[in-house]
Amino acid sequence: MSSMWWSRRWWLVLGALAALRVSAPVIVLAAEGRDLPGFPRFDLVSHTGDDAGFYAAAREFIAALGRVPVPVLAAAVVVVAAAAAAAWRLWPRRQWRPWIVVGLALLASLAVSIVILKMHASGAAVVGWSLLWALPLLPYRVSGLPLDYEVAFAFAFPLSLAANVVALVATACAGFWATGRRVVGAAAAAALAVWPLASVLVAGESAWGNGTWFVDTGLALYTEPVSTALVASALALLLKPDRADLHLAVAGVLLSYATLVKLSNVLVGVAAVLVVAVFLGLRRALPLIAGGFTFAPAVAAFWPLGYLDEATGRYFRDQEAFSLDYAGRSWTESLLFSPRTLVVLLPLAVLGALALRRGYVLALLTAFTLVNPLFYTFYWWTWEHPRFLFASLPSFFVLWAIGLLAAVDRVPRRRPTPAPVG
């Protein structure tokens, strides 16, 4: 009875936090074009940032479907259907399940790659988010109805909100499974839920600069919500106490698709493999490694279409994008993760890392938290694009929640005064 009560209250808490997480962007969208106290002003305008490229890539993917020869497309559909039927029959065999997941993901990647090879450059650096966006747009487009950015926004915005909810639930599970305490998971999820509301209090109004708040909340249709959801979900599966090879395989697939959504997530995947191999053994890491390669064909297929310099017609490869000289500015001038923000947030996270006693959990949380900041510290655009670090927030807030609870547990509690006798 106690366990059922906890479970019911747990999901009620997460439901409330999810509602809080999505309420801010919904309120701002409802007030489009007007100023609201405590929120940045939002204007639904196309071609204002990278979202234009992702929208163009979604449309281009749909168009590329029509360029694939009909026999090739039909053969791909038959192969995928046959593989799905075989997977259904083999699924009861538990030892086959990790490899069924890996095989189906690889097959999906190959099928998508056939279409990607027919795409033209659209201005999008990556294609993973655009593929998800294209799914609900496809039947609408096939129906012949007119499609513009505002219509496409109506399809994509709920996907971004759903991704933020998935990230929140995954963060809660990661905190719970990392410590065995539901309160840690709830605290980590609460921190992620209130972050869009609290960031301006911590960092100042610069937290709204360059569309950072809109990217975080999903109003700007960038890759970050989906990227964060995928990384957080993989983290939760890797922290699951009774994790089986199936969980490791699914985590690998999630991190592989996360790389298709945001290329730098490949570093998170490599870090995850190293941690699992060191602490759990190389054999346990094999399903994770196999899953991590599943969407490599799609990444390779889209690679030549990455950055396009419209002025020269050449693909953009800036040799000065990374330098040791950028390390200071990436943090001292950051719109969001400035020294002021770090002073407020870091102490509890460090305390959380110190409070952990299990090497695997500590190594995994630390790796997922630090890989992105270490990589992007030396990147030219990091200071004005704090969104590059958003995938680190779930693991960071788990450490932060552990530190918060460790601090609370160490606060001396006042003992009740004994009632007088007689």
Mean pLDDT in residue range 370-385: 94
Mean pLDDT of the chain: 90
CA distance 88 to 91: 5
Q: What is the tens place of the pLDDT at every residue in 231-260?
A: 999 999 999 999 999 999 999 999 999 999
58 or 204, higher pLDDT: 58
What would the pLDDT profile of 256-306 be if each residue is shown by its tens digit?
A: 999 999 999 999 999 999 999 999 999 999 999 999 999 999 999 999 988
- pLDDT tens sequence across 133-147: 999 999 998 888 888
User: What pLDDT score does 4 carry?
Assistant: 53
257, two tokens:
């698709």
* pLDDT score at 415: 46
Residue-wise pLDDT for 12-40, tens only, equals 999 999 999 999 999 999 988 888 888 88
What pLDDT is recorded for position 6? 59
Backbone angles phi, psi at 33, to 5 degrees: 85, 0
Sole residue written with tokens 């017609």 = 313
Token output for 241: 């106490």
Q: Tell me what the mean pLDDT of segment 349-367 comes to.
A: 93
d(CA 133, CA 60): 11
322-326, 373-377, 413-417: the lowest-pLDDT one: 413-417
Domain ranges, ordered by start, for the chain: 2-408
Token pair of 406 as six digits: 């460790």
Distance (Å, rounded) from C-alpha 383 to C-alpha 261? 21
* DSSP structure string for 274-336: HHHHHHH-HHHHHHHHHHHTTTHHHHHHHGGGS-EETTTTEEP--TTSB-GGGHHHHHHT-SS
pLDDT digits (tens, 9 = 90+) for 321-352: 888 989 999 999 999 999 999 999 999 999 99
Rounded to 10 deg, the angle between the 393-410 and 149-179 helix axes is: 40
Q: Tell me how far apart the alpha carbons of residues 170 and 160 are, in angstroms, rounded to a whole number.
A: 15
Both tokens of 60, joined, read 């281009």
> Which amino acid type is present at position 107?
L
Per-residue pLDDT at 49? 79
Q: What percent of the chain has pLDDT over 90?
A: 75
Single-letter amino acid code for the residue at 108:
A
| pLDDT tier for residue 307 given thresholds of 50, 70 and 90 | low
Taking the C-alpha atoms of residue 223 and residue 221, their distance in angstroms, rounded to an integer, is 7
Q: Which of 61, 214, 215, 221 is nearest to 127 (CA)?
A: 61
- 210 Ramachandran zone, left/alpha/beta (phi>0; psi -120 to 50): left
Question: Which range has highest mean pLDDT (75-79, 339-343, 394-398)?
Answer: 394-398
The position carrying tokens 């795409």 is: 119
